Structure 1
Amino acid sequence: MKVVVGLGNPGRQYAATRHNIGFMVIDRLARELNVAVTKKMFNCLVGQGLIDREKIVLAMPQTYMNLSGQAVGPLLNWHKLDPSALVVVYDDLDLPAGALRIRPSGGSGGHKGMQSIIAVLGTENFIRVRVGIGRPEAVDMETVDYVLSRLEPREMEDALKAAAGSVVCIVRDGLEKAMNLYNRR
């Protein structure tokens, strides 16, 4: 069983922003797998489904980004899973827009949502799918303004498709194969 968590901020004002890439990937997976991510559980919206015969839980924390660990920790505990069953999908400023990087572990890279999860779980040993959003082109644009700025409807379509595919590949074929296929793009 895998718990796949997409990071983002709840609320309409954040719906199509760069910082909500994780939510967008979960939405895409939910559509592709015919999973309703509507049940409220431990400050998350969750849904359960299958990839082949592997049970998955799709989750979107409703705690706001910087407190994501407060939702992820209890969710893993409820399912009696350790962090090795966790896959976190989130935005990354340090990757070019649309690039993917899948890693088995690592630091937060300054991402506050990841800092929160690492602090609550007490480990960095869980899978992450980083979706590049690039850095702002305008030198005077604040980072917070950039990550909370809206995406054009089709701007990240290929990245969303690839990120959802990478999660399916992780569950179906394993982390190593997913890294070989998706980190090269």
Structure 2
Amino acid sequence: MNVKLIVGLGNPGSKYAKTRHNIGFMVVDVLAKELGLKFATSKNYRSDFAKTAAIELIKPQTFMNNSGTAVRAIIKNKNISPDNILVVLDDIDMALGKLRYRTEGSSGGHKGLQSIIEALGTDQFPRLKIGIERPPVGIEPDQYVTQKFTAEQVNEIRTVIPAAVEIIKNQFLN
């Protein structure tokens, strides 16, 4: 049986919980809850992980821009091909709440995704991008992505996360 690896991107620590950059963590948290799984920490894999016989969920604890380090540590010890790895991440260039599932492609400037592309040596793996929209004028993107969602945005995100989980179940896990 081929194991499927689902990588939710984000930054570790309570300081970054519920921030825009951590939407990948939020999605895999909901998926884990639906599957009745709890996360444990693996120092070897530099990640929090939860798994069944067929699915492994990870939240790299390496900070966003070094996510590839955690993914490389896992695939080095397991025989998981890139087409069985799904990366769930934020996308600043998409409207808030828009979802886009792709089976391959460039990083689009996302440093966490670029780190994984470099670690795998290919961009031929699935990814689910979740729009967080561009920052308002005067706020730098690096600052914006590490801020919490506004109250209005939280309402949108509450409906988007379950929709993202459904896409994962219907398009990646089927």
Pick the TM interval, shorter chain: over 0.9
**Cα distance in structure 1, aligned partners of 2:173 and 2:129:** 19
The amino acid that maps onto 1:37 is F
Is contact 1:3–1:76 with CA below 8 Å preserved after alignment? no
What is the match of residue 42 of structure 1? 45
The amino acid that maps onto 1:114 is L
**Cα distance in structure 2, aligned partners of 1:48 and 1:172:** 14
**Cα distance in structure 2, aligned partners of 1:28 and 1:69:** 23
The amino acid that maps onto 1:166 is I
The amino acid that maps onto 1:34 is G
Partner deviation per Cα, 1:42-66 (whole Å, 9 max, x = no partner): 101111126xxxx100000000000
What secondary structure sits across from 2:171 in the alignment?
A: helix
What is the match of residue 77 of structure 2? 78
Q: 2:8 aligns with which of 6, 9, 20?
A: 6
**Cα distance in structure 1, aligned partners of 2:74 and 2:171:** 20
Partner deviation per Cα, 1:21-54 (whole Å, 9 max, x = no partner): 000001100111111111414101111126xxxx
The amino acid that maps onto 2:166 is G
TM score, norm. by length of structure 2: 0.92
Q: 1:20 aligns with which of 15, 22, 44?
A: 22
Q: Post-superposition shift, 1:171?
A: 3.7
Partner deviation per Cα, 1:140-180 (whole Å, 9 max, x = no partner): 1111121111023434111111111111112443xxxxxxx
Q: Post-superposition shift, 1:78?
A: 1.7
Counting matched residue pairs gives: 168
The amino acid that maps onto 2:37 is V
Flag structure 2 segments of 5+ consecutive residues without an equivalent.
Answer: none
User: Are 2:143 and 1:159 aligned?
Assistant: no
CA RMSD after TM alignment: 1.2
Flag structure 1 segments of 5+ consecutive residues without an equivalent.
Answer: 174-185
**Cα distance in structure 2, aligned partners of 1:63 and 1:117:** 12
C-alpha spacing 1:132/1:143, structure 2 compared with 1 (3 Å): same
The amino acid that maps onto 1:24 is M
TM score, norm. by length of structure 1: 0.87
**Cα distance in structure 2, aligned partners of 1:31 and 1:74:** 25
Q: Post-superposition shift, 1:134?
A: 0.5
The amino acid that maps onto 1:82 is S
